[in-house]
């Protein structure tokens, strides 16, 4: 076939299918002016600045929306076109006598266009600009007088975030932009992602934090320090302060998009209560000490405990917010310098069930797919995840996929935002996943909605599984899961018919005593539908913290060493001996809950907690505090004086996400470079250097000058996953492991050519109810979790203006439940579980089913984890945060002790 | 308004193969899926109409409630409510027609005096141009001519709406469009059947859809909406497009102020409209039909609804059309007061319940129309031709007219002619012949000009009246046939008022999607009222250039044409130093 050609300003161009004239022209470097078009958004075709001449036709074509076609001869800047463009721009300036644009508009696209065409607005009303503008939001400001109704904000809101905040009102010359139900951002569905601000060509929409802002001295590309999505950020800074953050355009993970936390909530870095010097506890006082003293004190105390009680009397918790390099060094330190496998990370208390389950049935615990598979998925199953709040950028991508036609099934006890967008919402009872998935599997098998060839080729235990399903009863499953049979059948059919499907999961599957069982029974469905290892399908657990994937990858797990390698494998031990000089003990160490139990019993004597506020975040607060107070030596690396730090003997001030170098690994196995945008305050230091120095003080011969050197060693220790990972060869979007050798470009998916473990495994698991059950005494089920505006224990977000958006943890309750016990919105209630009490303000919510409650744990004063139990999944040891039986009673606003 | 023209009409007929794939997010796709996933009940404007009464839905709490019921985003809902005049204003108010014909008959003054006693608002247009001025009372009673003028005295009582029949004539060898109407009202099914309605359908159903498609294609019939696009080609394009279900949308919101043939056809020959719709559905494989009728035609709405109900009751619509395998569901939807909704893509948005804004093309409705699915949009007059073609054959039909314009065209003559009403003529006749048949100016008044095809058409001076009625010839002369409305402009008319009327009309009705139309109209209006006249003419012409070349749809592109000519030919009377500057 001949090449399809067109000409733009007499330059020949080969046509790309589906491309518009404007896109083709940009490819050639021919700039066509426009105000309403923006790459990545569907063409609006409204401003008409991009009109071009096509051949000799007197009719002009809108370049932004006219597909370029073979044989077109396009001219973009004839005198006629230029004069039309000047006329259009004049319209904005002259149509409304009242309207005044600032004369100095060079900062905006619109201003630059005016300047280019020699046009100047009449006067400068900047003085009043702030008064007339809509400032109904902490971060966003809208000045209607500057708005030219180009609709890019509206399109961005719909097509990037999917929030539908904006509308267009009226018609004719009075056509104008409107916001939400009544012109207030804070009453609208706005989630302050800022996508609209990035689009606005006139500065009608701006970030309040960047108005009259200082110019940046430095722009640093790094990775967001919040959730496990791992958005790439561009950090503007001046005078060692972070000024503003925006998404890196074209970044693989976020394509320029961010969420409210990533974009705006960065001021915690400059919080006055940052820890800036090492602190040693003397009696009830804290004494600042020098780093030298701190390092030696740490080494000395660790050694003493080891000498006195043996290596297994010590434990280390790696931070999932710190770098891979820090996590790697911490586990190496414990394994080589202390001589114990007692290292763990907070993955234990979140996705350990998911990782373990997937490792058992597929061979690897990580996501089998990339986020990019969201866009190619035909059917998405979202289970136990409130993605739009907890992983907002992935949540937005999911919503966009659905709005473009992908089918969505949401499995969640709460009517989370994405449930509104679901074709089916299965409002499962907390802990009811296993019978639900088994019943869905039964429907698929019975109705032949399975991929038989895939099963035969790639999966084992198929006949046992079929046998097991015979005994599964839809009615019983419906009773146990709380989802009516018709809904189970409908959802199973939709998935089965559209197979393969993408399974996106969150902590709602993992943080249960049936956590691993929930994930494995879901994996059954994924295998029946031939989903794992296929494009646009597979397993996508959404990882919680920025580097929780990396922390586990690096080996901060008591059972496996770096790269999920067996502690007993002779080959691995050989390699470790070569690289490390010694191999770790063969015997597995203990997990976080086990360490806390041991400490409470008096069997664990020293704990090194790196950037983890376990006194706030771990379940059964009283038990945790008992364990911490029992320790002979607790050292904490922290940015702030956390709940856990209160019990420490030594506190080491840590650098924040924007203050250090290294790598983070996101939830799609993508290792990305992190670079310091500002210096850490005072004497606070990057974790990896502190761990290195303690290691050296303990006698290690470590010579790491920079994090890159640590990564080189990681590549040698776990070559099957990281052999080709190297700072020097890493592109801006990093690399997705497995990346087994130099020159390897990384893996967007795993299990593509068969499962890592050989064959995938179907597992037969019968339902076992949680030990924590409601009773007449404790009639409500409490689910704990997170909200959009805050992040985990809130140590970062609570130190930003996020608190203006949400300033406390609310108890979400169905209005019927609330009225039954006589409480109204805004009232305080006391929650009491079998363990302890907590207090929170009530928010009535139709998202809840009657009988189920939701409470976040972002604010320490809520003491949410006083309520939660010590029950854990028997295999993964993941705590059951998602089920706590409680009772409620009206209370006063006085906080609990 | 004219349905088919588009700024890229040059590429029409050969939509790129990628048109259905790209851009994926165009044409309200996300909003549709939003409603689908939110399990929204009811559809579109009709549902919204049921939910609210005028004036409601402006408080945030009320918006929230309604948005929840409609399952559309809050701001989107506010946008919809504020777009349509009928939502904005009380539907119980009296409507005073301000179409060009009524304007010339003094409707401005009438409206002003009515307003002092009644709740009323202006509208474009009620479709009674042959008896201007026209007023529609809140009870749906129609007053025209002297009766309407009498309302200015302040009371509606004692005045009875006169007989509303429309004078009809046929200059063609044989009436095609008016074939049934000329025989009197054929509103009910029995009367329609007596005239042979649905016989063409019965015959076509015995053949294949392909045969019907071939016949329509061979007939050379062109859409009567204005652009004169070949009906058969449009149908073929839809029939070949992938996607299910397919739709036929009948544009009953067409008709420029000045044209009222569609109103008469819907009111007096509704079953022929339905028959044309069914034939189209059969040919293109559509399973749903929607008849969209402007709210300014309450009687057409009532009659069409009645006719559709009758057709269902008698097995003409529904699961088995006339006992055949063809299943077709048809509904009637009423507009909510927006002139631009006569533009086909704006109409599709209105049917779906969105703002009646124009969509960018491609994709064309034949590929991605109603609900993003392949859709044929035909206007009423076009469809009424179809049964004739299906029954008599392509050759018989194409024997009428000229080489490039087959068949007949119905002209709507306004009250300014001695013999107003509808006149069906064969293509090929001259405009002068049509006007002579109408007896020239009413009351022997000399005509200075005529407006052909409404405000988006052409203003024609006597020396141009010799032009042949033919899409080809008229196109060459830069004349828009439009929907065939003819408004007589008597000698001494106030051209300044006419120009202001058109600009006000444009400001009032522009959908707001594209800048030249949205802001150009207002800027022109301001220029006209600006004190210093320096360079005004030049500025006006530059604006007209911009609107013509730059607007997204036929509304903005075509409105400036007659205005430009008005300024060019009668500038001295518009800007006269001693005149009403």
Residue B338 to residue A524: CA distance in whole angstroms: 55
Task: Tell me if B75 and A47 make a contact (CB, 8 A cut-off).
Answer: no
Contacts of B360 in chain A (CB under 8 A): 43-45, 62, 65
Q: What is the pLDDT of residues A609-662, one digit of tens each?
A: 999 999 998 888 899 999 999 999 999 999 999 999 999 999 999 999 999 999
Q: In what helix (H) or strand (E) does residue B376 lie, and over which residues does it extend?
A: strand B375-379
Q: What is the pLDDT of residues B484-535, one digit of tens each?
A: 999 999 998 999 999 999 999 999 999 999 999 999 999 999 888 875 667 7
Sheet containing B134-136, strands listed edge to edge, beginning at the edge strand earlier in sequence: B120-123, B94-97, B134-136, B142-144
Task: Judge whether A76 and A28 are in contact, CB under 8 Å.
Answer: no
Contacts of B77 in chain A (CB under 8 A): 167
Task: Tell me if B522 and A173 make a contact (CB, 8 A cut-off).
Answer: yes
pLDDT for the residue numbered B41? 76
**Percent of chain A residues past pLDDT 70, beyond the cut:** 96
Helix, strand or coil, per DSSP, at residue A869: coil
At the topology level, CATH places domain A780-891 in Barwin-like endoglucanases (2.40.40)
List b or e across A262-282, with b for residues whose CB sees 16 or more CB atoms inside 10 angstroms: bbbbbbbbebeebbebbbbbe
Helix, strand or coil, per DSSP, at residue A533: coil
pLDDT at A435 over 60: yes
Residue B491 to residue B449: CA distance in whole angstroms: 8
Mean pLDDT of A413-432: 95
Q: Which CATH number applies to A5-90? A: 3.10.20.740
Mean pLDDT of A845-856: 94
Task: Judge whether B561 and B458 are in contact, CB under 8 Å.
Answer: yes
Task: Tell me if A162 and B30 make a contact (CB, 8 A cut-off).
Answer: yes
Helix, strand or coil, per DSSP, at residue A188: coil
pLDDT for the residue numbered A105? 58
To the nearest 10°, report the CA torsion of B382, B388, B394, B400.
Answer: -80
Extents of the domains making up chain A: 5-90, 95-210, 298-350+547-640+655-731, 352-365+377-541, 780-891
Residue B338 to residue A521: CA distance in whole angstroms: 55
pLDDT for the residue numbered B50? 72
pLDDT at A674 over 80: yes
pLDDT for the residue numbered B27? 56
Name residue, tokens 């951002």.
A185
Pick A181's closest partner by Cβ from B16, B64, B82: B64
Rounded to 5 degrees, what are φ and ψ at B454? 75, -170
Tokens coding A660: 């250090």
**Percent of chain A residues past pLDDT 90, beyond the cut:** 87
pLDDT for the residue numbered A89? 94
Helix, strand or coil, per DSSP, at residue A836: coil
pLDDT for the residue numbered A895? 63
Q: Among A441-455, A741-755, B135-149, B203-217, which stretch is predicted with the lowest mean pLDDT?
A: B135-149
pLDDT for the residue numbered A398? 96
pLDDT tier for residue B60 given thresholds of 50, 70 and 90: confident
Separation in Å, CA A343 to CA A360, A505, A618 = 21, 26, 16
pLDDT for the residue numbered B147? 86
pLDDT for the residue numbered B18? 30
Residue A651 to residue A644: CA distance in whole angstroms: 10
CA B520 to chain centre: 23
Name residue, tokens 């690897």.
A364
pLDDT tier for residue B92 given thresholds of 50, 70 and 90: low
pLDDT for the residue numbered B7? 28
CATH number of B168-398, picked from 3.40.50.150, 3.40.50.11540, 3.40.50.720, 3.30.499.10: 3.40.50.11540
pLDDT for the residue numbered B165? 79
Which range, A341-350, A439-448, A750-759, is most confident?
A: A439-448
Interface test with B, best of A45, A159, A181, A396 (most B CBs within 10 A): A181
pLDDT for the residue numbered B119? 82
What stretch(es) of chain B map to CATH 1.20.1440.230? 495-575
pLDDT at B25 over 60: no
Domain A352-365+377-541: what homologous superfamily?
Dimethylsulfoxide Reductase, domain 2 (3.40.228.10)
pLDDT at A100 over 80: no
Taking Cα atoms as reference points, which of B188, B196, B215, B193 lies closest to residue B204? B215
- Smallest CA–CA distance, residue B507 to chain A, in Å, is 5
Residue A363 to residue B79: CA distance in whole angstroms: 53
Q: In what helix (H) or strand (E) does residue B452 lie, and over which residues does it extend?
A: strand B447-452
Pick A88's closest partner by Cβ from B10, B23, B516: B516
Q: What is the pLDDT of residues A27-58, one digit of tens each?
A: 999 999 999 999 889 999 999 999 999 998 88
pLDDT for the residue numbered B155? 66
Contacts of A95 in chain B (CB under 8 A): 519, 522-523, 526
- Smallest CA–CA distance, residue A503 to chain B, in Å, is 19
- Smallest CA–CA distance, residue B506 to chain A, in Å, is 8
Q: What is the pLDDT of residues A311-326, one digit of tens each?
A: 999 999 999 999 999 9
What stretch(es) of chain B map to CATH 3.10.20.600? 408-490
Name residue, tokens 């012949």.
B433
> What is the assigned CATH class of domain B495-575?
mainly alpha
Q: Which CATH number applies to B408-490? A: 3.10.20.600
Q: Are strands B329-334 and B288-293 parallel, antiparallel or unpaired?
A: parallel
> What is the assigned CATH class of domain A298-350+547-640+655-731?
alpha beta
Task: Tell me if B550 and A48 make a contact (CB, 8 A cut-off).
Answer: yes
Pick B37's closest partner by Cβ from A149, A170, A422: A422
pLDDT for the residue numbered A99? 64
Mean pLDDT of A449-460: 96
pLDDT for the residue numbered A97? 60
Q: What is the pLDDT of residues B362-393, one digit of tens each?
A: 899 999 999 999 999 999 999 999 999 999 99
Q: Among A71-75, A215-219, A661-665, which stretch is predicted with the lowest mean pLDDT?
A: A215-219
- Smallest CA–CA distance, residue A421 to chain B, in Å, is 5
Name residue, tokens 């293109």.
B284
pLDDT tier for residue B47 given thresholds of 50, 70 and 90: confident
Task: Tell me if B38 and A62 make a contact (CB, 8 A cut-off).
Answer: no
Task: Tell me if A67 and B19 make a contact (CB, 8 A cut-off).
Answer: yes
Chain A CA closest to residue B357? A171
Report the predicted TM-score, pTM, of the whole model to 2 decimal places: 0.93
Q: What is the pLDDT of residues A802-842, one digit of tens each?
A: 999 999 999 999 999 999 999 999 999 999 999 999 999 99
Helix, strand or coil, per DSSP, at residue B121: strand
To the nearest 10°, report the CA torsion of B427, B430, B434, B437.
Answer: -120
- Smallest CA–CA distance, residue A403 to chain B, in Å, is 5
Q: What angle do CA A10, A13, A19 make, to 5 degrees?
A: 120
Q: Note the CATH architecture for domain A95-210.
A: 2-Layer Sandwich (3.30)
Pick A159's closest partner by Cβ from B25, B79, B362: B25
Task: Tell me if A171 and B83 make a contact (CB, 8 A cut-off).
Answer: yes
Rounded to 5 degrees, what are φ and ψ at A280? -115, 135
Helix, strand or coil, per DSSP, at residue B170: strand
pLDDT at B356 over 60: yes
Mean pLDDT of A506-516: 94
Separation in Å, CA A868 to CA A366, A784, A864, A882, B101 = 27, 9, 7, 9, 78
Task: Tell me if A167 and B16 make a contact (CB, 8 A cut-off).
Answer: no
If you write DSSP's letter for every residue of A232-248 in order, what string do you get? EEEEEEETTEEEEEEEP
Higher pLDDT, B580 or B459: B459
Q: What is the pLDDT of residues A704-726, one digit of tens each?
A: 999 999 999 999 999 999 999 99
Contacts of A421 in chain B (CB under 8 A): 34, 37-38
CA A270 to chain centre: 23
Q: What is the ipTM of this complex?
A: 0.92
pLDDT for the residue numbered B16? 33
- Smallest CA–CA distance, residue B62 to chain A, in Å, is 9
pLDDT for the residue numbered A2? 66
pLDDT at B33 over 80: yes
Tokens coding A352: 């350990």
pLDDT tier for residue B140 given thresholds of 50, 70 and 90: confident
pLDDT at B5 over 50: no
Residue A633 to residue A623: CA distance in whole angstroms: 18
Count CB neighbours of B160 within 10 A: 10
Pick A421's closest partner by Cβ from B7, B37, B59: B37
What are the respective helix, strand and coil percentages of chain A, to the nearest 5? 35, 20, 45
Contacts of B510 in chain A (CB under 8 A): 171-173, 175
**Percent of chain B residues past pLDDT 90, beyond the cut:** 63
Higher pLDDT, A492 or A143: A492
pLDDT at B127 over 60: yes
pLDDT at B333 over 80: yes
Q: What is the pLDDT of residues B410-459, one digit of tens each?
A: 999 999 999 999 999 999 999 999 999 888 888 889 999 999 999 999 99
Tokens coding A802: 């996020």
pLDDT for the residue numbered B61? 84
Count CB neighbours of B581 within 10 A: 13
């Amino acid at each position: 076939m001949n090449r399809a050609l067109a000409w733009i300003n007499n330059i020949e161009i080969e046509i790309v299918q589906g491309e518009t004239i404007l896109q083709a022209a940009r490819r050639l470097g021919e700039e066509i002016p426009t105000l309403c078009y923006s790459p990545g958004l569907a063409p609006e075709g409204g401003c008409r600045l991009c009109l071009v001449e096509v051949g000799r036709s007197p009719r002009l074509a809108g370049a932004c929306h006219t597909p370029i076609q073979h044989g077109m001869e396009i001219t973009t800047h004839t005198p006629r076109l230029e004069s039309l463009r000047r006329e259009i721009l004049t319209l904005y300036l002259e149509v409304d006598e009242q309207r005044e644009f600032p004369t100095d508009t060079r900062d905006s696209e619109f201003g630059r266009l005016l300047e280019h065409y020699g046009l100047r607005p009449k006067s400068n009303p900047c003085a009043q600009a702030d008064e007339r503008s809509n400032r109904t939001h902490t971060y966003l400001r809208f000045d209607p007088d500057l708005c030219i109704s180009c609709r890019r904000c509206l399109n961005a809101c719909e097509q990037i975030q999917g929030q539908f905040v904006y509308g267009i009102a009226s018609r004719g010359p009075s056509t104008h932009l409107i916001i939400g139900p009544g012109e207030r951002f804070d009453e609208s569905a706005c989630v302050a992602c800022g996508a609209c601000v990035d689009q606005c060509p006139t500065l009608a929409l701006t970030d309040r934090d960047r108005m009259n802002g200082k110019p940046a001295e430095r722009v640093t590309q790094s990775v967001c320090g919040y959730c496990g999505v791992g958005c790439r950020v561009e950090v503007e800074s001046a005078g060692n302060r972070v000024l503003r953050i925006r998404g890196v355009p074209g970044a693989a993970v976020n394509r320029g998009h961010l969420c409210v936390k990533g974009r705006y909530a960065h001021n915690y870095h400059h919080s006055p209560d940052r820890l800036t010097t090492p602190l040693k506890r003397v009696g009830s006082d804290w004494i600042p000490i020098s780093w030298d003293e701190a390092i030696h004190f740490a080494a000395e105390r660790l050694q003493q405990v080891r000498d006195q009680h043996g290596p297994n009397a010590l434990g280390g918790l790696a931070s999932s917010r710190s770098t891979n390099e820090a996590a790697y060094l911490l586990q190496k330190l414990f394994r080589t310098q202390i001589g114990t496998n007692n290292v763990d990370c907070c993955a234990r208390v979140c996705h350990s069930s998911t990782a373990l389950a997937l490792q058992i049935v597929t061979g690897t615990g990580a996501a089998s797919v990339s986020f990019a598979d969201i866009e190619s998925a035909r059917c998405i199953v979202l289970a136990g995840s409130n993605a739009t709040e907890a992983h907002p950028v992935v949540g937005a991508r999911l919503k966009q996929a659905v709005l473009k036609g992908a089918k969505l099934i949401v499995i969640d006890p709460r009517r989370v935002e994405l449930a509104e967008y679901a074709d089916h919402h299965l409002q499962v009872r907390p802990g009811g996943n296993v019978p639900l998935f088994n019943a869905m599997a039964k429907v698929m098998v019975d109705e032949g909605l399975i991929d038989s060839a895939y099963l035969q080729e790639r999966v084992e235990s198929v006949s046992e599984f079929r046998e097991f399903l015979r005994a599964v009863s839809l009615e019983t499953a419906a009773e146990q899961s709380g989802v009516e049979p018709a809904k189970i059948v409908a959802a199973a059919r939709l998935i089965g018919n559209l197979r393969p499907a993408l399974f996106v999961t969150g902590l709602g599957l993992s943080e249960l005593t049936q956590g691993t069982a929930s994930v494995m029974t879901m994996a059954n469905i994924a295998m029946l539908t031939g989903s794992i290892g296929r494009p646009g399908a597979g397993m996508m657990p959404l990882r919680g913290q920025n580097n929780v994937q990396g922390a586990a990858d690096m080996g901060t797990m008591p059972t496996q060493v770096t790269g999920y390698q067996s502690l007993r494998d002779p080959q691995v031990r050989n390699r470790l001996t070569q690289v490390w000089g010694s191999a770790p003990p063969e015997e597995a160490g203990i997990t976080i809950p086990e360490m806390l139990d041991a400490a409470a019993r008096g069997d664990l004597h020293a704990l090194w907690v790196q950037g983890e506020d376990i006194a706030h975040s771990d379940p059964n607060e009283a038990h945790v505090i008992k364990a911490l107070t029992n320790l002979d030596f607790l050292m904490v690396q922290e940015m702030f004086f956390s709940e856990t730090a209160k019990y420490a003997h030594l506190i080491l001030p840590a650098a924040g996400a924007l203050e250090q170098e290294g790598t983070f690994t996101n939830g799609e196995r993508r290792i990305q470079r992190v670079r310091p945008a500002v210096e850490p305050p005072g004497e606070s230091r990057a974790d990896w250097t502190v761990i290195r120095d303690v290691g050296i003080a303990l006698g290690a011969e470590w010579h790491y000058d920079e994090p890159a050197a640590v990564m080189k060693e990681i590549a040698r220790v776990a070559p099957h996953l990281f052999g080709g990972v190297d700072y020097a060869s890493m592109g801006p979007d990093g690399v997705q492991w497995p990346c087994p050798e130099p020159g390897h470009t990384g893996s967007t998916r795993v299990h593509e050519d068969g499962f890592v473990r050989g064959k995938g495994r179907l597992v037969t698991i019968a339902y076992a109810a949680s030990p924590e059950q409601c009773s007449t005494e404790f009639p409500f089920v409490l689910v704990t979790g997170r909200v959009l505006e805050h992040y985990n224990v809130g140590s970062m977000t609570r130190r930003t203006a996020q608190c203006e958006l949400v300033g406390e943890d609310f108890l979400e309750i169905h209005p019927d439940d609330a009225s039954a016990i006589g409480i109204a919105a805004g009232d305080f209630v006391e929650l009491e579980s079998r363990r302890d009490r907590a207090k929170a303000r009530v928010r009535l919510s139709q998202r809840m089913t009657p009988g189920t409650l939701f409470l976040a744990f972002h604010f320490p004063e809520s003491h949410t984890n006083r309520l939660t139990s010590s029950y854990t999944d028997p295999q993964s040891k993941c705590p059951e945060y998602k089920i706590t039986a409680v009772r409620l009673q009206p209370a006063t606003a006085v906080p609990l002790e | 308004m004219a349905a088919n023209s588009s700024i890229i009409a040059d590429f029409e007929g050969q939509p790129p193969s990628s048109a259905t794939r790209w851009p994926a997010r165009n044409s309200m796709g996300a909003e549709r899926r939003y409603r689908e996933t939110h399990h929204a009940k009811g559809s579109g404007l009709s549902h919204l109409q049921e939910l609210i009464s005028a004036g409601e839905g402006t408080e945030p709490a009320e918006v929230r409630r309604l948005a929840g019921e409609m399952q559309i985003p809050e701001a989107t809902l506010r946008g919809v409510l504020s777009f349509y005049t009928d939502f904005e204003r009380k539907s119980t108010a009296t409507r005073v027609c301000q179409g060009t014909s009524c304007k010339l008959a003094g409707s401005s003054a009438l409206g002003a005096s009515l307003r002092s006693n009644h709740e009323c608002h202006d509208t474009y247009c009620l479709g009674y141009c042959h008896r201007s001025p026209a007023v529609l009372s809140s009870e749906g009673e129609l007053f025209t001519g002297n009766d309407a003028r009498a309302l200015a005295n302040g009371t509606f009582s004692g005045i009875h709406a006169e007989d509303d029949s429309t004078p009809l004539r046929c200059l063609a060898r044989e009436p095609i469009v008016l074939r049934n109407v000329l025989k009197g009202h054929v509103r009910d099914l029995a009367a329609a059947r007596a005239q042979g309605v649905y016989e063409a359908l019965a015959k076509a159903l015995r053949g294949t859809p392909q045969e019907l498609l071939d016949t329509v294609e061979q007939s050379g019939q062109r859409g009567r909406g204005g652009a004169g696009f070949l009906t058969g080609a449009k149908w073929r394009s839809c029939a070949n497009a992938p996607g299910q279900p397919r739709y036929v949308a009948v544009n009953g919101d067409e008709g420029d102020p000045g044209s009222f043939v569609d109103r008469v056809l819907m009111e007096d020959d509704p079953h022929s409209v339905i028959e044309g719709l069914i034939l189209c559905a059969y040919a293109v494989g559509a399973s749903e039909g929607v008849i969209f009728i402007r709210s300014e035609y309450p009687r057409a709405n009532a009659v069409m609804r009645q006719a559709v109900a009758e057709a269902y009751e008698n097995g003409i619509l529904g699961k088995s059309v006339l006992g055949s395998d063809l299943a077709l569901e048809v509904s009637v939807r009423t507009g909510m007061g927006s002139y631009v909704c006569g533009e086909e893509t704006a109409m599709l948005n209105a049917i779906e319940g969105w703002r009646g804004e124009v969509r960018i093309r491609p994709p064309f409705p034949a590929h991605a129309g109603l609900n993003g699915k392949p859709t044929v949009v035909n206007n009423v007059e076009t469809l009424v031709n179809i049964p004739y073609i299906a029954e008599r054959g392509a050759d018989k039909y194409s024997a009428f007219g000229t080489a490039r314009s087959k068949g007949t065209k119905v002209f709507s003559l306004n009250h300014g002619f001695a013999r107003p009403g509808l006149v069906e003529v064969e293509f090929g006749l001259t405009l002068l012949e049509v006007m002579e048949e109408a007896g020239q100016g009413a009351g022997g008044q000399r005509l200075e000009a005529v407006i052909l095809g409404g405000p988006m058409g052409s203003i024609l001076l006597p020396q141009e009246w010799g032009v042949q009625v033919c899409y080809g010839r008229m196109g060459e002369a830069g004349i828009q046939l439009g929907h065939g409305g003819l408004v007589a402009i008597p000698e001494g008319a106030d051209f300044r008022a006419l120009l202001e009327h058109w600009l006000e009309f444009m400001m009032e009705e522009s959908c707001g999607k594209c800048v030249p139309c949205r802001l150009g109209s207002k800027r022109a209006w301001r220029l006209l009222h600006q004190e210093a006249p320096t360079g005004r003419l030049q500025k006006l012409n530059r604006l007209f250039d911009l609107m013509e070349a730059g607007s997204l749809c036929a509304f903005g592109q075509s409105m400036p044409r007659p205005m430009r000519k008005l300024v060019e030919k009668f500038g001295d009377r518009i800007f006269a130093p001693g005149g009403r500057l």
